[in-house]
């Protein structure tokens, strides 16, 4: 991440003189968190504001451990050992830093000093640690949870979760035969082909360009663009691609 940010730094200096966001593309946060993160960053006059989350030690060991002193970040340890995590744990777990930051220009000055780690990566927490060591103000904004999209299991869980936000939702943008049974919540995009006698839902998402053949059942599942559910097949708690 430090190397990627260094590549973008010239444009950021030109286009974002008052600050910018840095985020991993595979994380989703609760509604309103980004606004609160930016507001805290601006109101406290911080050089960097980290998203912070309490997590079990095993989870923190795969992320970044954050140590606070007097409300400010004093250290960040990328992918720490469990021994290190437990030394900074409470009954509620330890603080980790999911990769979503509100940042000001000074952090860019430290990127060129970041050397590859033992994993061969130029890790952004090293730039933040140098910012702290040189007197920069680094704080955090807590978030209760995040959703991470890394594999097909995550994709299924996230889609089902968003469908459940409105249990009565039946967003149907394609024409369906009259004998298709739809049980909300479902989302069927434009350009979906559904044959006669199918059962769709609950918690089913059909992406544009997919096909559900006659008398098939799709529930608690996702069918992606180009995917086909063959006739009379039951697809449940799965992704079809």
Mean pLDDT of the chain: 96
pLDDT at residue 238, as a whole number? 97
- Separation of CA 14 from chain center: 28
For residue 161, what are its two tokens? 């979760």
152-204 confidence digits (pLDDT tens)? 999 999 999 999 999 999 999 999 999 999 999 999 999 999 999 999 999 99
Q: What is the CA radius of gyration of the chain?
A: 23
Q: Are strands 181-182 and 64-69 parallel, antiparallel or unpaired?
A: unpaired
pLDDT at residue 19, as a whole number? 96
- Delimit the domains of the chain by residue range: 2-148, 152-240
Residue 40 has pLDDT above 90, yes or no: yes
Q: Which of helix, strand or coil describes residue 100?
A: strand
Q: What's the rounded mean pLDDT across residues 103-109?
A: 97
Per-residue CA distances from 19 to 12, 13, 46, 108, 189 (Å): 8, 9, 10, 11, 37
Residue 102 has pLDDT above 90, yes or no: yes
pLDDT at residue 120, as a whole number? 87
pLDDT at residue 92, as a whole number? 83
Percent of the chain at pLDDT > 90 equals 94
Residue 118 has pLDDT above 90, yes or no: no
Predicted TM-score (pTM) of this structure: 0.84
Question: Taking Cα atoms as reference points, which of 5, 57, 52, 63 lies closest to residue 29?
Answer: 52
Q: Please give the full DSSP string across 12-78, using - where no structure is assigned.
A: HHHH-TT-EEEE-TTEE--TTHHHHHHHHHHHTT-SEEEEEEEE-HHHHTTSEEEEEETTEEEEEEE
What confidence tier does 135 reach under pLDDT thresholds 50, 70, 90?
A: very high
Percent of the chain at pLDDT > 70 equals 100
CA atoms within 13 A on the CB side of 130: 16
**Whole-angstrom distance, CA of residue 103 vs CA of residue 47:** 6
Residue 81 has pLDDT above 90, yes or no: yes
- Angle at the Cα of 155 (from 154 to 159), degrees rounded to 5? 115
Q: What's the rounded mean pLDDT across residues 1-25?
A: 95
Q: Is 2-148 in CATH node 3.30.1490.20?
A: no
């Amino acid at each position: 991440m430090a190397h990627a940010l260094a590549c973008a730094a010239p444009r950021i200096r030109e286009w974002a003189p008052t600050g910018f966001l840095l985020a991993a593309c595979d994380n989703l946060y609760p509604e309103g968190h980004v606004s609160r993160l930016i507001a805290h960053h601006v109101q406290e006059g911080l050089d960097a504001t980290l998203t912070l989350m309490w997590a079990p030690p095993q989870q923190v060991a795969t992320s970044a451990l954050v140590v606070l002193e007097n409300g400010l970040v004093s250290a960040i340890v990328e992918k720490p050992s469990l021994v290190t995590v437990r030394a900074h744990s409470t009954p509620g777990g330890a603080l980790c830093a999911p990769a979503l930051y509100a940042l000001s220009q000074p952090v860019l000055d430290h990127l060129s000093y970041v050397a590859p780690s033992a994993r061969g990566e130029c890790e952004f927490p090293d730039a933040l640690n140098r910012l702290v060591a040189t007197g920069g103000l680094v704080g955090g904004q807590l978030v209760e949870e995040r959703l991470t999209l890394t594999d097909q299991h995550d994709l299924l869980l996230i889609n089902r979760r968003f469908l459940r936000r409105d249990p009565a939702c039946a967003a149907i943008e394609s024409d369906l035969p009259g004998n298709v049974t739809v049980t909300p919540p479902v989302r069927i995009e434009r350009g979906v082909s559904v044959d006669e006698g199918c059962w769709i839902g609950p918690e089913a998402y059909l992406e544009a360009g997919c096909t559900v053949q006659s008398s098939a059942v799709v529930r608690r599942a996702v069918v992606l663009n180009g995917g086909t559910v063959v006739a009379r097949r039951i697809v449940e708690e799965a992704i079809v691609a």
